[in-house]
C-alpha cells in the first residue's frame, strides 16, 4: 500500500499584547519611585544630622537674592545685557513693582524651623471675670461646703460604726466558745481606706493550716465560719489573700509557696461561701507567697503565714476625692 503525501500545515500565532502586564515596565516605574523615596529620606536624615552652621549655609544657598544693579555688573560683557534693561533679573531694582520673594532673607534657618520665626501670633489668654458676692452674701461653693462636710462626717461615722459592729461580732463569737477563745491572739483587725481587713495568723507552735498543706484545721474552719457569718449580710466586695513565710517549699516538685498561698486562699473562699457569703461578692483570690510579710525584719517568722480577708468598704473621703478628679 503506497504512503499518502499529506500536506504539512504550519500555524502562526501572533501575540496581541494581552500579556503586557506580565512584563517589566512597572518595575522601572517602581524602581524610580523607590529611588526618589530614598533620596527624600536621605535629605531628611542629612537635615536632622547637620549642625546649625551647615543648615545656615544650606539655607543661604537656597535663599533668593535681589540684584541691586538691575542686571548690570563688571562681568565679561562689561555691564551690557542681552536684552532690554531689567530682563536678566526680572526687575529694575528694589524700586520695581515686580519684586523677587524675600522669604527667609533675614533668618534663613526659619525656612526649616518654624520655632525660629518671630511672626508667630501671640497667644491671648482671656479669663472670665469672677462674680463678686454682694456684701454679706456667701458664694455658692462656700455655702455648700459646711453641708458637704457634715454629710461626709456623718458617712464616715456610719462607716466606722458598721465596721466596729463587724469586728465586735467576730471577737465576741470567738471568745464565747471556750475551744476557740485561745485563738483571739491569732486574729488581727486592720482599718484601711478600703475597708476592714481581718487576718488569721499563725504563731510558733500552732498553725491555722496543716503543715505545708492547704488543708484547714478544725479550729481555723470554725473561726472562718464566724467571720463569714459576720460579713454575710454586708453588700460589699470581699478580697482574700494567702501569705507564707520565706522558707522554701520543697516537698513536691513544681509546687512552691506561690501555689501553697493561692490554694490556702481558695480553701478560705470555699468556707466563706459555704457559710453564706455570696460567691458574686468574692472580688479577688490571690496568693502572694512571701512577697508581703507582716514582719519584714523576720521573713521566716510564723506570723507571716496568714490569711487576709478584706471587706471593701471605701472611706467616704476617698470616694469624694475620686469624684472630684
**Residues 162-186: pLDDT tens digits?**
888 888 989 888 888 888 888 888 8
The CA distance from 50 to 40, in Å, is 16
Q: How many residues does the chain have?
A: 325
Can you tell me the mean pLDDT for 216-232? 91
Mean pLDDT across the chain:
76
CATH classification code of 151-323: 3.30.1330.60
Tens-place pLDDT, residues 100-149: 555 555 565 565 555 555 555 565 556 556 556 555 555 555 556 777 77
Q: Compute the chain's Rg from CA coordinates.
A: 44
At 89 the pLDDT is 47
pLDDT digits (tens, 9 = 90+) for 244-291: 998 887 777 778 889 999 999 999 999 999 999 999 999 999 999 999
User: Is it the case that residue 91 has pLDDT exceeding 50?
Assistant: no
Contact 265, 310 (CB under 8 A): no
pLDDT(2) > 90: no
Higher pLDDT, 113 or 12: 12
DSSP one-letter string for 66-92: --TTTT--SSTTTT--SSSTTTTTSSS
pTM: 0.53
Report helix, strand or coil for 276. coil
227 Cβ contact partners less than 8 Å away, ≥ 6 residues apart: 170, 198, 272, 309
Question: Which residues 6+ apart lie within 8 Å of 285 measured at CB?
Answer: 240, 262, 265, 266, 269
* DSSP structural state of residue 296: T
Spatial separation of the C-alpha atoms in residues 256 and 248, rounded to whole Å? 7
Q: If pLDDT is split at 50, 70 and 90, which confidence band does 87 have? A: very low
Band of the pLDDT at 43, cuts 50, 70, 90? confident
CA dist., res. 189 & res. 167, Å (int):
7
Amino acid at each position: 500500500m503506497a504512503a499518502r503525501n499529506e500536506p504539512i500545515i504550519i500555524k502562526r500565532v501572533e501575540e496581541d499584547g494581552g500579556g503586557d502586564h506580565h512584563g517589566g515596565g512597572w518595575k522601572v516605574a517602581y524602581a524610580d519611585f523607590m529611588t526618589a523615596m530614598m533620596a527624600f529620606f536621605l535629605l531628611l536624615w542629612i537635615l536632622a544630622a547637620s549642625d546649625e552652621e551647615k543648615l545656615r549655609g544650606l539655607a543661604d544657598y537656597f535663599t533668593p537674592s535681589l540684584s541691586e544693579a538691575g542686571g548690570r555688573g563688571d562681568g565679561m560683557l562689561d555691564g551690557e545685557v542681552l536684552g532690554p534693561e531689567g530682563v536678566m533679573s526680572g526687575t529694575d531694582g528694589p524700586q520695581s513693582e515686580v519684586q523677587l520673594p524675600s522669604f527667609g532673607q533675614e533668618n534663613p534657618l526659619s525656612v526649616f524651623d518654624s520655632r525660629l520665626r518671630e511672626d508667630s501670633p501671640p497667644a491671648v489668654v482671656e479669663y472670665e471675670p469672677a462674680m463678686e458676692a454682694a456684701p454679706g452674701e456667701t458664694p455658692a461653693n462656700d455655702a455648700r461646703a459646711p453641708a458637704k462636710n457634715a454629710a461626709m462626717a456623718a458617712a464616715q461615722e456610719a462607716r466606722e460604726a458598721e465596721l466596729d459592729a463587724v469586728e465586735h461580732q467576730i471577737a465576741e463569737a470567738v471568745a464565747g466558745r471556750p475551744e476557740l477563745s485561745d485563738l483571739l491572739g491569732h486574729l488581727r483587725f486592720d482599718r484601711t481606706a478600703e475597708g476592714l481587713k481581718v487576718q488569721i495568723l499563725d504563731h510558733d507552735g500552732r498553725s491555722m493550716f496543716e503543715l505545708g498543706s492547704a488543708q484547714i484545721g478544725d479550729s481555723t474552719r470554725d473561726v472562718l465560719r464566724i467571720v463569714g457569718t459576720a460579713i454575710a449580710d454586708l453588700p460589699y466586695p470581699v478580697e482574700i489573700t494567702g501569705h507564707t513565710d520565706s522558707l522554701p517549699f520543697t516537698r513536691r516538685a513544681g509546687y512552691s509557696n506561690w501555689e501553697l498561698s493561692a490554694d490556702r486562699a481558695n480553701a478560705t473562699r470555699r468556707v466563706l461561701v459555704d457559710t453564706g457569703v455570696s460567691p458574686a461578692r468574692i472580688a479577688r483570690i490571690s496568693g502572694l507567697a512571701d512577697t508581703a510579710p507582716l514582719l519584714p525584719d523576720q521573713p521566716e517568722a510564723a506570723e507571716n503565714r496568714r490569711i487576709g480577708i478584706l471587706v471593701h468598704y471605701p472611706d467616704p473621703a476617698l470616694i469624694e476625692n475620686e469624684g472630684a478628679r
